[in-house]
Chain A
Amino acid sequence: MTPERFDSWLTVDRKGLFCRPGGFHIDPYGGAERAIVTHGHSDHARPGHRHALATRETLAVMKARLGAQAPVSSQEVRYGERVTIGDVAVTLFPAGHVLGSAQVLIEWKGVRAVVSGDYKRSADPTCAGFELVPCDLFITEATFALPVFQHGDAGEETAKLLKSHRQFPDRAHVVGAYGLGKSQRLIALLREAGYDRPIYLHGALAECCALYESFGVRLGDLKPATGASREELKGQIVLAPPSAIADRWSRRLPDPLTAFASGWMRVRARARQQNVELPLVISDHADWRELTETIAETGAEEVWVTHGREEALLHHIATTGRTGRALALIGREDEDQ
Chain B
Amino acid sequence: MKAFAALLDRLSYTPSRNDKLRLLADYFASTPDPDRGLALAALTDGLFFRLPLRRILTDLVTSRVDPVLFSLSRDYVGDTAETVALIWPSGEARAKPPKLSAIVETLQSAPPAEIPALLAKWLDRLDSTGRWALLKLMTGALRVGVSARLTKTALAEWSNVPLADIEEVWHALQPPYEELFAWLSGKGPRPALQGRATYRPLMLSHQIDDKELRSIGPDAFIAEWKWDGIRVQAAHQSGERRLFSRTGDDISGAFPDVIESLPEGVVLDGELLILRDGAVAPFNDLQQRLNRKTVSAAMLKSHPAHIRLYDMLFEGDEDLRPLPFSVRRARLEAWHEAHAPRRTDLSSLIDFSSVDELETLWSGARETGIEGLMLKRRDSPYLAGRPKGHWYKWKRAPLTIDAVLMYAQRGSGKRSSYYSDYTFGAWRDGDSGAPELVPVGKSYFGFTDEELKELDRWIRNHTVESFGPVRQVEPKLVFEVAFDSVHRSSRHKSGIAMRFPRISRIRWDKPAGEADRLETLQAMLLN
- Check if A276 is an interface residue, CB within 8 A of chain B: yes
Q: Are A277 and B15 in contact (CB under 8 A)?
A: yes
Interface pick from B75-83, B270-278, B384-392: B75-83
Residues of B within 8 A of A278 (CB): 10, 13
- Residue pairs across A and B with Cβ atoms less than 8 A apart, 16 shown, are A146-B72, A147-B69, A152-B128, A168-B19, A248-B417, A267-B86, A268-B12, A269-B79, A272-B13, A275-B412, A277-B13, A277-B14, A277-B413, A312-B69, A315-B72, A316-B69
Most buried by A among B10, B412, B417: B417
Q: Is B469 an interface residue (CB 8 A)?
A: yes
Q: Which residues of B contact A149 (CB under 8 A)?
A: 86
Q: A146-B72, A148-B77, A277-B13 are in contact. Are A167 and B26 (CB under 8 A)?
A: yes
**Bound CA–CA A271/B86 (angstroms):** 15
Q: Does B68 contact A (CB under 8 A)?
A: yes
Q: Are A315 and B68 in contact (CB under 8 A)?
A: yes
Q: How far is the CA of A247 from the CA of B22 in the complex (A)?
A: 26
Which residue, A147, A168, A272, A279, has most C-beta atoms of chain B within 10 A? A147
Q: Decide: A255 and B69 in contact? CB cutoff 8 A.
A: no
Q: Is B416 within 8 A of A146, CB to CB?
A: no
Q: Is B402 an interface residue (CB 8 A)?
A: no
**Size bin of chain A's contact surface:** 35 or more
Q: How far is the CB of A295 from chain B (nearest CB, A)?
A: 15
Please judge, given known A-B contacts A148-B73, A269-B77, whether A251 and B86 are in contact too, CB under 8 Å. Answer: no
Interface mask (A248-272 → B, CB under 8 Å = 1, otherwise 0): 1011000100100000001111011
**B331 near A: Cβ within 8 Å?**
no
Closest 4 CB pairs of A and B: A148-B86, A275-B416, A148-B73, A312-B72
Query: Chain A 270-312 against B: per-residue CB contact (8 Å), 1 yes, 0 no?
Result: 0111011111000000000000000000000000000001011
Within 8 A of A (CB), among B15-36: 15, 19, 22-23, 26
Beyond the given A164-B10, A309-B76, A315-B69, please list 16 additional residue pairs across the A-B interface where CB-CB is below 8 A. A147-B70, A148-B83, A148-B86, A149-B86, A150-B86, A160-B6, A246-B416, A248-B417, A250-B417, A269-B79, A271-B13, A272-B13, A277-B14, A312-B68, A315-B72, A319-B66
B468 adjacent to chain A (CB < 8 Å): yes
B87 interfacial by beta-carbon distance below 8 Å:
yes
Question: A167-B26, A267-B76, A311-B72 are known contacts. Are A147 and B87 too (CB-CB below 8 A)?
Answer: yes
Q: Size range of the interface on B?
A: 35 or more
Known interface pairs A247-B417, A278-B13; A150-B73 also in contact (CB < 8 Å): no
- B13, A312: Cβ atoms closer than 8 Å: no
With beta carbons under 8 angstroms apart, the residue of B68, B83, B86, B417 that contacts A246 is B417
| Beta-carbon nearest neighbor of B72 in chain A | A312
Residues A148 and B76 in contact in the complex (CB < 8 Å), given A247-B417, A248-B417, A271-B13: yes
Give the dominant DSSP class at B's interface: helix
The docked-state distance in angstroms from the alpha carbon of A160 to that of B72 is 30
B65 part of interface (Cβ distance < 8 Å): yes
Q: Is the CB of B66 within 8 A of A315?
A: yes
**Which residues from A are CB-within-8-Å of B65?**
147
Whether the Cβ atoms of A267 and B19 lie closer than 8 Å is no
Interface residues of B in 177-195 (CB under 8 A from A): none
Q: Which residues of A contact B90 (CB under 8 A)?
A: 150
Binding site for B on A (CB under 8 A): 146-150, 152, 160, 164, 167-168, 246-248, 250-251, 255, 258, 266-269, 271-273, 275-279, 309, 311-312, 315-316, 319
**A276 contact set on B, CB distance < 8 A:** 13
Chain B residues within 8 Å of A251, by CB:
417
Question: B491 within 8 Å of A by Cβ?
Answer: no
Neighbour of A266 across the interface among B70, B78, B86, B468, CB < 8 A: B86
Interface: B211 (CB within 8 A): no
Q: Is the CB of B87 within 8 A of A148?
A: yes
Min C-beta distance of A235 to chain B, whole Å: 14
Docked pose: A136 CA to B468 CA in angstroms: 42
Contacts of B79 in A (CB 8 A): 268-269
User: A275–B411 Cα gap in the complex (Å)?
Assistant: 9
A249 (CB) vs chain B CBs: closest residue:
B417
Closest A residue by C-beta to B14:
A277
The distance in angstroms between the C-alpha atoms of A271 and B23, with both chains bound, is 19
CA distance A3 to B412 in the complex (A): 58
Q: From the candidates B10, B12, B414, name the one contacting A255 in the complex (CB within 8 A).
A: B414
Inside 8 A of A246's CB, which chain B residues have their CB? 410, 416-417
